[in-house]
Structure 1
Amino acid sequence: MTIEEIQAHKECQTFDCKSIQIDPKALAVPIVAMANADGGVLAIGVSDKTRRIEGIDGNEERLNELLRAPFDFCNPSVRARCEYLPCTDYEGRENRILLMHIPASVQLHTNQADECFMRVGDKSKKLNFDERMQLLYDKGERYYEDKDVYDATIDDVDMNLVSDYMNVIGYGKSAMEYLRENNDFVTEKDGKQKVSTACILLFGKNPQRFFPRARTRFIRYEGTEEKVGTEMNVVKDVTFEGTILQQVRRTIDYLETQVREHSFLGEDGRFITNRNYSKYAIQEMVVNSCCHRAYNIKGTEIQIKMFDDRIVFETPGDLPGLVRPDNIRHTHFSRNPKIAQFLKAYKYVKEFGEGIDRICNELETKGCAIPSFHIDAFILKATLMAEWTSEKEFDRQNNAQVNDTINVQVNIAKLTDRQRKIYEAIKNDTINVQVNDQVNVQVNDQVNVSNLSILFGVSEKTVRRDLYVLRDMNLIHYVGSDKTGHWEIADKKQ
Structure 2
Amino acid sequence: MISKDEIKELLEDIENERVERTISTKDTDKFAKAICAYANDLPNKKLPGYLMVGAHDNGTLCGLKVTDELLRSLAGLRSDGNIQPKPALMVEKVSFPEGDLAVVEVLPSKITPVKYKGTTYVRIGARKSEANEEEDRILREKSEVKSPTYDTTPCLHSTIDDLDLDLFRTEYLPKMVNTDTLKADKRDIKQQLASLTLFDIASDCPTVAGILLIGKDPKRILFGSYIQYVEFAGKKITSKVINERQFSGNLITMLREIDYFIKYTIQKQRPVFVTVLREEMKINYPYEAIRELAMNLIMHRNYQTNAPAKFYEYSDRIELDNPGGLYGKVQPENFPNANDYRNPVIAEAMKTLGYVNRFNRGINMVQEILEENKNGQAIFDFKDIFTFKVTVMNADPKPEDGADDIKNGAENSADGAENGIDSGAENLTQKEADIVALIKEDNKISRKSIAEKLNIGTTTVYRYIDSLKAKGILERVGGDRGGYWKIN
Q: How does 1:139-150 map to 2 (within 5 A)?
A: 139=143, 140-150=146-156
The aligned counterpart of 2:347 is: 340
Q: Which amino acid aligns with 2:208?
A: T
Segment of structure 1 superposing worse, 55-64 or 277-286: 55-64
User: 2:236 pairs with 201, 217, 225, which one?
Assistant: 225
- Unpaired segments ≥5 residues, structure 2: 1-5, 400-458, 463-488
Could you tell me how far 1:331 is from its partner in structure 2?
Answer: 3.7
Distance 2:64 2:289 in 1: 54
Contact 1:20–1:63 (8 Å) recurs in 2: no
Q: Hey, what does 1:179 align to over in structure 2?
A: 193
Partner of residue 409, structure 1: none
Q: Distance in 2 between matches of 1:245 and 1:287?
A: 12
After superposition, the C-alpha distances for 1:172-209 in whole angstroms (9 at most, x for unaligned) are: 136543213332624143xxx21211101101122223
- Cross-structure match for 2:127: 123
Q: Distance in 1 between matches of 2:286 and 2:314?
A: 16
| 2:31 counterpart letter in structure 1 | L
Bigger mean CA offset, 132-141 vs 334-343 = 132-141
Aligned with 1:74 (options 83, 86, 102): 83
Aligned to 1:3: 8
1:226 shift after superposition:
1.0
Q: 1:329 to 1:130 in 2, by over 3 A?
A: closer
- Aligned residue runs from structure 1 range 178-197, under 5 A: 178-183=192-197, 185-189=199-203, 193-197=204-208
Number of residue equivalences: 379
TM-score by length of 1: 0.65
Q: State the alpha-carbon separation in 2 of the partners of residues 103 and 364 from structure 1.
A: 39
- 1:234 pairs with 2:238: no
Deviations 1:237-294 (A, max 9, x none): 0111111232223123213322243556899x98654533343331222122212222
- The answer as to whether partners of 1:217 and 1:302 remain within 8 angstroms in 2 is yes
Task: Give the Cα separation in 2 of the matches to 1:372 and 1:266.
Answer: 33
CA RMSD of aligned residues (A): 3.8
> 1:49-68 alignment to 2 at 5 Å?
49-53=57-61, 58-67=66-75
Q: Deviations over 1:402-422 (max 9, x none)?
A: xxxxxxxxxxxxxxxxxxxxx
Report the counterpart of residue 162 of structure 1 in structure 2: 168
Q: 1:214 corresponds to which residue?
A: 225
Whole-Å separation in 2 of the counterparts to 1:383 and 1:22: 51
1:202 to 205, 213, 221: 213
Amino acid at match of 1:236: N
Q: Residue 425 of structure 1 aligns with which residue?
A: none
Alpha-carbon distance between aligned partners in 2 of 1:280 and 1:16, rounded to the nearest angstrom: 49
Contact 1:20 1:45 in 2 (8 A): yes
Alignment of 1:86-105 (within 5 A): 88-91=96-99, 98=103, 100-103=105-108, 105=110
* CA distance 1:312–1:68, shift in 2 (3 Å): farther
Q: Look up the SS of the partner of 2:119 in the other structure.
A: coil
Check whether the contact 2:35–2:106 (CA below 8 A) recurs between aligned residues: no
d(CA) in 2 for partners of 1:285 and 1:84?
A: 49
Q: 1:363 to 1:96 in 2, by over 3 A?
A: farther
Query: Does the C-alpha gap of structure 1 residues 90 and 351 become closer, same or farther in structure 2, counting only changes over 3 Å?
Result: farther
The structural deviation recorded for 1:159 is 2.0
Relative to 1, partners in 2 of residues 1:30 and 1:86: Cα closer, same or farther, differing over 3 Å? closer
Check conservation: 1:332, 1:352, Cα contact below 8 A.
no
Matched residues, percent identical? 22
Aligned partner (choices 34, 38, 46) of residue 38 of structure 2: 34
- The CA deviation at 1:212 is 3.8
Structure 1: stretches of 5+ with no match in the other structure = 396-494
> SS at 1:296's partner residue?
coil
For residues 185 and 68 of structure 1, the distance between their equivalents in structure 2, rounded to whole angstroms, comes to 45
Distance change >3 Å, CA 56–CA 355, structure 1 → 2: farther
> So what's the TM-score if we normalise by structure 2?
0.66
8 Å Cα contact 2:23-2:54 kept in structure 1: yes
Cα 1:309–1:166 shift into 2, 3 Å:
same
Contact kept? 1:45, 1:55, Cα under 8 Å: no
1:8 deviates by: 2.6
